[in-house]
Structure 1
C-alpha cells in the first residue's frame, strides 16, 4: 500500500490573455465559469454569460479551449474563471509543484500572464460552523437591518455566549465572507 504525501496548498489568482479562438473575442460580453472540470471529451463547466442584451447561466459540455486544457492538465483546481475580451482571470487552488508546472506551461505556450496573488491556503480562510451559525442567526433576527431589529446581546444570549465572543465571531465571519466575495468578482 502506498503512502500519502501531505502537500502545502496555495490559492492563486492569475490573469492570462484571452485565447484567439475564444467566443468572447467575437461576440463581446463576459463569461464567468462558476465550476470547471475536465470531462472525458473535453472541458465541462457551469457558466454565467453576460452581454449587453442578456444574462443567463448555462452548462457547457465538451469545450475545447486549449488554454483551459493546459491549465487543468497542470494539476490545478480551477475555482472560477472570469473571461472578458482581452483577459481571463483564473482563481486556482493547487500544490506549489502544480503551480510551478502551470507557469512553465504558460511560458512554453508564450501565453502572457500576470500573477495577481499567490498565498498559502488555509482552512482558517473558510467560514467555520460557529461563524456560519452566528451569521445566519444574526441575519434571520434582523441584526443587519437598518435600523437593527435585534441587539448583539440578544444574539449572544440566544447562543449562550458572551457579547464580546459574539462580536468577535461576527467580525471574523464577515471578514472572511467579504474576502471571498472580493476575490470572486
Structure 2
C-alpha cells in the first residue's frame, strides 16, 4: 500500500464555531450531516429539530443560511480552529458529533503520518482545549479502513467531480492495487453509504 490512511477522533472543547454557538445559545437540537471545511469559511449541512419554528432564530450577521433540503440546511460561517487546521493540512472531516456540554467530536482522515504532528501544532497555537485518539477498531456496518482510503483518494483526486478529473486506473496506481480491486472496493463503500442514507433519510 502506497498510502497509509490514518483515522483519528478529535474532541474539542467549545470550538469557536458561530453556528454551533448560536444553536447552543437558542437551545436548539441539531445534527451535522456534512461539513466542508475551509481555511476562512466552512459550510455545514445541518438537520434542525422543528425546522420551521427554529430556523428564524438562527438568523445572524455571522451566519449565511441557504435553501433547505428536506429539513436539512446548508449554513456557512467563519471557520473554527479545527476546521481551519483541517483545511490547511488537507485532512478530511468525515463525521461531526456535538455534545450537550459544548464539546464537539470530529472524525478525520489523512494520509501522511506527519499531518498529526502538524495538526497538533496548529491547534496548540490557539487557545482551544482538545484531545486526540486513534481509531483502529472495525465497527460493524461501517466502512472498512481500505474502503475509506479508496473513497478519500477518489474524492481528493477529483473522481466525484462533475467533470471527472481521474479514472479508476489513476486511483489504482496511487494506492498500488489493481483497477478491478479499486472498482469493487469503491462499489462496496458507496453501497454502504447509499443504504445508510436511504434507511435514515427516505
Q: TM-score, normalised by structure 1?
A: 0.52
Q: Which runs of 5+ in 1 are unaligned?
A: 127-172
Asked if 1:108 is matched to 2:125, the reply is: yes
Asked if 1:57 is matched to 2:72, the reply is: yes
Q: TM-score, normalised by structure 2?
A: 0.48
Specify the alignment match of 2:47 in structure 1.
48
Measure, in 2, the Cα distance between the counterparts of 1:30 and 1:17.
Answer: 18
Measure, in 1, the Cα distance between the counterparts of 2:40 and 2:7.
Answer: 27
- Number of positions where the alignment pairs a residue of Structure 1 with one of Structure 2: 124
Cα drift, residue 54 of structure 1: 6.7
Higher strand share: 1
Q: Deviations 1:97-124 (Å, cap 9, x if unpaired)?
A: 2222111111111321112434397316
Specify the alignment match of 2:145 in structure 1.
122
* Alignment CA distance shift 1:50-1:11 (3 Å): farther
Measure, in 2, the Cα distance between the counterparts of 1:11 and 1:123.
Answer: 11
SS at match of 2:136: strand
After TM superposition, list the pairs within 5 Å mapping 1:61-100 onto structure 2.
Answer: 61=76, 63-67=77-81, 68-85=83-100, 86-95=102-111, 96-100=113-117
After TM superposition, list the pairs within 5 Å mapping 1:157-176 onto structure 2.
Answer: none
Asked if 1 retains the 8 angstrom alpha-carbon contact of 2:31 and 2:98, the reply is: yes
Measure, in 2, the Cα distance between the counterparts of 1:103 and 1:31.
Answer: 28
Q: Which runs of 5+ in 2 are unaligned?
A: 56-70, 138-143, 150-187, 197-202
Asked if 1:11 is matched to 2:7, the reply is: yes
Q: Which has the larger radius of gyration?
A: 1
Asked if 2 retains the 8 angstrom alpha-carbon contact of 1:76 and 1:94, the reply is: yes
> RMSD over aligned Cα, in angstroms?
3.5
